[in-house]
Amino acid sequence: MKKFKGFAAAALCTAMVVSGVTYVHEAEAGPSKNEKGKSKIENVIFMIPDGYSAAYATNYRIFKGKETVLDPLLVGMMQTNSSDNWVTDSAAAGTAMATGYKTNNGMVGVTPNGRTVESILEAADDAGKSTGLVATSTITHATPAVFASHVQSRGSEAAIAQQMVNEVDVLFGGGKSNFLPESLGGKQEERNLIEESEENGYAIVEDRDDLMDLNGKEKKILGLFADGAMAPELDREMTEEPSLAEMTSTAIDSLSTNKKGFFLMVEGSQIDWAGHAHDAAWAMHDSEAFEEAVEEALAYAKKDKKTLVVIAGDHDTGGMSVGGYDEYNANVEILRNVEATGEFMASQMNKKRGNARKVVQEHTGLKLTAEEVGRIQTAPEGEVGMTINTIVSERAYVGWSTSAHTGVDVPVYAYGPGSGLFHGLLDNTDMPELMAEAMKIDF
C-alpha cells in the first residue's frame, strides 16, 4: 500500500493487493483547513470504540432510548482494510490510525516489510506535548500498543511494555503481569517495569481508590488495574477497578498541566470482545461506558476551546445487525435488564446446568423456554456462554454474521476546532495526518 502525504492533490488514490489483484480507490481530497480557519489547537483526544460500526451505533441509540452523545458529532465514514486483507485486525487497523501507514494483520507500528514508522503520539511527544494511553484491555494490547511501540507481532506484549514505560506520560489499563518479572509472576524475564517507572518519577496506582486519591498535579502516572484485561462494564462493580470515564478524566487532568498541550488516546476495548462473543448486552453496556468517557472529553474540550476530539472505531466486529432472525422487529430495550455477561452466567451454572433457567432469569429477567434451556444444557463445554448470548440476542433481535471482524466502513465523529478536517469518506491512514495538520506538528 502506498502512503500519500498531505492533501494538496485534487484526488487521493489508494491501492491494495488482494489475491494477486490490485484494487485502486480514488476519492476527492478532503478539506485541508479548519472550518473556522483561525482556532488554535493544542490538544487532541482520540477515542476508539474498538469494533464499533454503524450497527452498534444504531442499536446503542435504541438501547439508550434517545439520541446519543455521538450522534450530533457525526462527520463522516472511514474505510478499514489492512494492507493484506479487506478485513483488518486491530493491530493493522490501529497502526494505520496511529501512523498513517497500512500494514499486515497482526503487525504493530511497522510496515509489512518491518520498517518502523512514527506514530502521532510520538510526533506529539517530539513537539513537546504530554502523551497518554487509556484502555480497558491490557494497556499493551494491539490498539494502545500501536501508538507507542513497534513489534512484528501483537502478541509480544512484554516487549511492548518495555517500549511504553518512560515514553508515555500516562498509562491506564490492565496488563500488570506484562510489567513484572517472572520471579513475581509476570512476563518480563528479569525487569520490574513498575519499579523502574516509580524510580523515574511515575505515580503508581493499582485500584480505583488510588486513582481517586491523586491530587491532579501528577505529570506522570502508571495505572495498572488488573493482571490481565480489566473487567467488562457489566462485571466491574465486583472489582475495585475504575471506570473508563474515571480513567479518562484523570488522564486529562494530568496531561493538561503541560502548557504545550497533549495527545491522549482512549480505547473502549471490550466493545470488540463483546462482538466476538455475540454478547449484545455486554456490547451495549460497554458502549454506554465509552459514551460516559466521551462526555468527560467533551466537557473538557468545551471549556478549553483548544481541544479537538476525534472518535472512530477501528473496524466492525461480529457483523451485528439491527433486527434479525427473519423478523421485522427490534427489541434492544430488553438488554437494559441484563446484568452480567454470558460467560459470567455460564460460570454460575452447576455441573449438569440444571439451574440454567434460574441463573439466566436472575441476570437477564428473561424466562427461558424449555427449548432454550435444552440448548444451554446440551452446549459443548466452552460454548455455554456463547449459547446464552445467542438466546439473548434472539430475544433482542440483534443478529450476528460472524464471530470475527468484517470489512464494513465505520462512522467518524469529531468535535472542536479542526473537526471539519474529518469530513466525508476517509481512509484509516488519514486520521493521524489530519490530527498532525490540526495541531500543526511535524509528522
Name the residues annotated as catalytic: 90
The Cα 153–Cα 156 span in angstroms is: 6
Q: Is 122 helix (H, G, I), strand (E, B) or coil?
A: helix
What are the Cα distances from residue 303, in Å, to 36, 136, 151, 416? Answer: 18, 26, 38, 11
* DSSP one-letter code for 29: P
Q: Which residues contact 358 (CB under 8 A, 6 or more apart)?
A: none
Q: Is 318 helix (H, G, I), strand (E, B) or coil?
A: coil
What are the Cα distances from residue 150, in Å, to 190, 253, 331, 341? Answer: 21, 28, 44, 33
C-alpha angle 45/135/404, rounded to 5°?
110
The C-alpha cell at 1 is: 500500500
Question: DSSP secondary structure string, 152-219?
Answer: S-TT-HHHHHHHHTTTSSEEEEE-GGGGSBGGGTSSBSS--HHHHHHHTT-EEE-SHHHHHT--S--S
Closest CA to 249 of 191, 315, 293, 202: 293
The Cα 287–Cα 403 span in angstroms is: 18
With residue 104 as reference, give the H or E element that holds it. Answer: none
The Cα 365–Cα 274 span in angstroms is: 20
Q: Are 443 and 433 in contact (CB under 8 A)?
A: yes
With residue 86 as reference, give the H or E element that holds it. Answer: none
Q: Which residues contact 199 (CB under 8 A, 6 or more apart)?
A: none
Closest CA to 120 of 104, 134, 131: 131
Q: Binding site for Mg(2+): which residues?
A: 50, 141, 143, 267
The C-alpha cell at 64 is: 439508550
Q: Binding site for Zn(2+): which residues?
A: 50, 272, 276, 314-315, 405
Q: Binding site: which residues?
A: 50, 141, 143, 267, 272, 276, 314-315, 405
The Cα 292–Cα 20 span in angstroms is: 44
Q: Are 62 and 331 in contact (CB under 8 A)?
A: no
| b/e per residue 228-252 (b: at least 16 CB within 10 A) | ebbbbbbbbeeeebbbbbbbbbbbb
